[in-house]
Amino acid sequence: MSRILLLSLIATSAILAEMDFDSIEVFANELKNGEKSFLKPGAITSKSELNSQNQSIDSIVRSLAGSYTQIDQAQGSVSVNIRGLTGLGRVNTMIDGVTQTYYGTSSDSKGFHDFTGNLGTSAFGAILDQNFLASVDIERGSFSGANNAIMGSANFRTIGVDDVIRNGDNLGFLGRYSYGTNGIGPSYMGAIATKIKLENGSNIGVLYGYSGKKITQDYKDGSGKRAKDATFDINGDGQGDLGRAIDVENLTQKPKNHLLKFEYSNEDHAAILSYKNHSNYLAKRKIDSNSYQLDYHFDPDSDFLNLALLASHTNTKQKYDKIATLSWVSLKQGMQFQNKATNFDLSNTFKFNLDNAKISSKFGLNLLNNDYIRKTSDKDFATLTTNYAVPQGKQKIRTIYLDNSLEYSILKLDANVNFMHWQISGTKGKCEMANTLCEPKEPGKIKKNSDAINYSLMLGVNLHEYFSPFVSYAKSTRALNVQEFFHSGTVYEDINTFLKPETAKTAQIGFNLHKNGIFANSDVIGFKATYYHTKIKNFIYDRLITKEALFLSRLNGNAKFRGLEIELMYDADYFYTSANYARQKANYPLSDSMALDWTNGPSSGVSQFSQLPKYYATIDTGVRLFGNKLTFGSITKITGKAKRFNPLFEYASNETEFKRVKTQDLPKIPTVFDF
């Protein structure tokens, strides 16, 4: 169907291109917050001025169509969910253009084999501080550059010198402080920047920022019950079970963040050298992350030379207490789990003008080295060469990409392609089970690699300010990562050595509307609607193969995702409103590890426990007074029917086959009004 739509729109566009249309001009001198999304074809959403937002990063991401978050309070990171999927390679989450590879693993809340406690969890996420964020760009269903994602990407930009210094001043300060009742805050930050213009026209800028906050789960719910006194509702009867309460003490955190940037620019060159530090103590482990990054751009006003370089190195350590346990295994001597990630991207953009057609081609090379290292002096723990809680190994991804853009009359065509070679390597344990998935049976080092060609096609037709349709089709592949390949999901070391990477094919169709001067000279309206359909081949899930040994194997299957996304904004300076609506439906095999019943079942703490709601929407409306210096507004959050995975895992009557994990309807989620 998608190919028929694409061919039909291409044919229609070719006819329309011969017609005489009046030129379409954008009268606004400066784009308003989020306005650029309605000027671009495709499912692209942007939100700027985050440094003036009082909403949490969780609320901000969920207010963008097709985007959601899965917040694991035991990780101290943000996991972006796009159209129902999350995790490394399913969503490419970036900070300042650098892919985030952090894999957090929390310790258990109780001691060794204390079944009244909570099993630790593991999840991919991005370590970021909202106080330092300036904007976020989210792209869904299509891609550009070196892409290792099947659903989309999210890029968070941190503040720079020009975000702190305003009106051409040489010195600036940006600060914020917030505090609330019921376990909210405090949260604070301060950033100072200076900028000097030299006689030769060059600019030098320096920025330093410090941020901190307190996050606790010691709150009262709507019924007045404190979280530390509540217990998990395992069987869905509305009553707490097994005496397992939220571990408030271990989930209290006080993260600290430092941001340092040096910026230099002149007529041809621009460079930013940045350093980010994050330190935290959470779930019986100290988390320390240091990131170094260089961005360089050389643009000598040439059609054939426009060079861009990005080089970064991130080292994140999780140092566990000696009293901590991981999946009921006592560490005794403590442990350190380290992630070293190095990213290098070099590209050049060529521009051509042929018979009123504007052509742009960007050719680039991207290298990603991702290494997970486990260190411990505990001999008992070290004997588990493939410990399922913190698997170690290396991931390498090499990508050559070519992004092409063609603009002719009312047509805009983006045709992007990349060639990706990936490899993972590590140590495999002994295959204990009698199955054909784990080969060879002997322990030892193992490597797995593959190649993939990915492409993304996007055609937009600028028919009118009120109607600019677009259609796209993309094929994308995600490389296998260390955690899903070397993670057996149980205390045994069996893995599926024949696991294949996921491949997605996504078709999208929609249209944009963008118009200035509707009711006044300075107002603007924007509207975007997108329908998507994604098929995933070799979708990765896990299944309990044998009950006696609890071999939880990663398997490949098929999945389908489809939905509708709508975005609306109107801004008249003194009055503004924006709305986002997403409705989705997914069909994919559920993982047995999604059950929480770790006493009798296969839970391993590595999967999400809830699905996206059937629909969700956010409406933001307000007025600006005194020359935009004072704003009154309200945000309405609407959430439709939602489900969670049944936390109970049941065996069939013969105890040789297993019932698949099912879902449970969650209670109706109330509409939230935030003034």
**How many Cβ atoms sit within 10 Å of the Cβ of residue 407?**
16
275-332 pLDDT, tens digit each: 999 999 999 999 999 999 999 999 998 999 999 999 999 999 999 998 888 777 778 7
What backbone phi and psi angles, to 5 degrees, belong to 166? -120, 160
**CA 140/CA 68 separation, integer angstroms:** 12
Report CA-CA distances (Å) from 232 to 229, 240, 244, 246, 349: 10, 5, 6, 8, 55
CA–CA–CA angle 63, 623, 137 (5° rounding): 30
pLDDT for 107 equals: 85
What is the dihedral sign for C-alpha 302, 268, 136, 126? positive
- Say yes or no: domain 2-216+251-674 is CATH 2.40.170.20: yes
Tokens describing residue 13: 């566009």
358-394 pLDDT, tens digit each: 999 999 999 999 999 998 877 666 555 445 568 889 9
| Closest-CA residue to 207 (of 189, 221, 229) | 189
The DSSP letter of residue 594 is G
Asked if residues 398 and 422 have their Cβ atoms less than 8 Å apart, the reply is yes
Strand bridging mode 91-95 / 152-158: parallel
By CB atoms closer than 10 A (0-12, 13-18, 19+), residue 247 is: buried
Asked if residues 289 and 277 have their Cβ atoms less than 8 Å apart, the reply is yes
Tokens describing residue 107: 């310790």
Tokens describing residue 333: 């001597």
Asked if residues 266 and 203 have their Cβ atoms less than 8 Å apart, the reply is yes
pTM: 0.90
Report CA-CA distances (Å) from 596 to 483, 599, 604: 20, 9, 8
Q: What are the residue ranges spanned by the domains of the chain?
A: 2-216+251-674
502-524 pLDDT, tens digit each: 999 999 999 999 999 888 888 99
Asked if residues 165 and 195 have their Cβ atoms less than 8 Å apart, the reply is yes
**How many Cβ atoms sit within 10 Å of the Cβ of residue 634?**
11
| Closest-CA residue to 401 (of 92, 148, 94, 156) | 148
**CA 38/CA 529 separation, integer angstroms:** 10
Give the residues of the chain that fall short of pLDDT 50: 1-29, 112-113, 115, 242-243, 385-386, 656
CA dihedral 8, 9, 11, 17 (to 10 degrees): 160
Which residue type sits at 508? Q
pLDDT for 51 equals: 77
Share of the chain above pLDDT 90, in %: 57
pLDDT for 5 equals: 41
pLDDT for 24 equals: 34
pLDDT for 593 equals: 75
pLDDT for 30 equals: 57
Peptide bond into 186 cis (omega under 30): yes
617-628 pLDDT, tens digit each: 999 999 999 988
